[in-house]
């Protein structure tokens, strides 16, 4: 059984670590992408951008999640005055790939053992027939929007992206580099400054 003071210490310690990371202009995007994560990441990015226009590093390790929340993070990264560097760590899956695209192509990196996944969006559709039809049409539009974005950001033909993302399409860091998802594989923080 935890004492009352211990329960309050954990969130305080986590906040302290986040504050220390923010002083280094580093944001960690980890876990499932949802509205809460988007709000936290967007807030951190906006605070850092208001402080200065020095580069901001965003470490991305995520299984993906809510598409609109992911696009919100992507759009804010592009909205900032500060240059954003994204670094894939562990795995970058589903909507986390477009989040990586929030950085300009030359500022997208990966650690050596990171895996990447592109695939078509999925979701549970239920309800009345007309509602199912509306949701299915919206999923088709989202899928095409994602395919167009991946094609534009990687230089791959959209037909290839459509075919590759029809099912789970996993890539190693080396394959992601070849595909155009990232610009470089890095092994140390010093590698980020090399051209």
Indicate the pTM of the whole model: 0.88
> Which residue in the block uniquely carries the two structure tokens 């580093």?
26
Task: Give the mean pLDDT of 32-55.
Answer: 97
Rg over alpha carbons for the chain, rounded to the nearest Å, is 18
Mean pLDDT for the chain?
A: 91
Among 62, 69, 94, 110, which one carries the catalytic annotation?
A: 94
CA dihedral defined by 13, 114, 82, 75, rounded to 10 degrees?
A: -100
Q: What digits encode the pLDDT tens for the residues 58-71?
A: 999 999 999 999 99
pLDDT in the model for residue 13: 63
**How far is Cα 127 from Cα 140, in angstroms, rounded to an integer?**
18
Residue 119 annotated to the active site = yes
What integer pLDDT is reported at residue 7 of this predicted model? 54
pLDDT of residue 155: 97
Q: Is 106 in contact with 177 (CB distance < 8 Å)?
A: no
- Cα separation values, 93 from 13, 115, 122, 129, Å: 29, 8, 13, 31
Place 9 in a pLDDT band, splitting at 50, 70 and 90.
low
pLDDT band at residue 52 under the 50/70/90 scheme: very high
Is 94 annotated in the active site? yes
Q: Is the pLDDT of residue 128 over 90?
A: no
Catalytic residue (choose from 66, 74, 110, 119): 119
Of the listed ranges 13-17, 57-61, 81-85, 167-171, the one predicted with least confidence: 13-17
Domains and CATH numbers, the chain: 24-188 (3.90.226.10)
Mean pLDDT of 159-173: 96
Task: Please check the confidence at residue 105 and state whether its pLDDT lies above 90.
Answer: yes
């Amino acid at each position: 059984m935890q004492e009352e003071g211990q329960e309050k210490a954990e969130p305080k310690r986590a906040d302290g670590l986040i504050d220390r990371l923010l002083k280094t202009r580093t944001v960690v995007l980890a876990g499932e992408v949802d509205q809460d994560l988007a709000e936290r990441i967007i807030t951190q990015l906006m605070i850092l951008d208001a402080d200065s226009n020095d580069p901001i590093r965003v470490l991305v390790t995520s299984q993906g999640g809510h598409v609109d929340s992911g696009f919100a993070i992507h759009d804010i990264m592009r909205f900032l005055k500060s240059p954003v560097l994204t670094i894939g760590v562990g795995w970058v899956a589903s909507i986390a790939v477009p989040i990586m695209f929030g950085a300009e192509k030359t500022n997208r990196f990966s650690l050596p053992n990171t895996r990447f996944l592109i695939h078509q969006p999925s979701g549970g559709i239920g309800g009345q027939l007309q509602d199912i039809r509306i949701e299915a049409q919206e999923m088709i539009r989202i899928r095409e929007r994602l395919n167009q974005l991946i094609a534009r950001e990687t230089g791959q033909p959209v037909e290839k992206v459509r075919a590759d993302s029809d099912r789970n399409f996993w890539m190693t860091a080396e394959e992601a580099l070849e595909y155009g998802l990232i610009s470089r594989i890095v092994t140390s923080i010093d590698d980020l400054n090399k051209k």
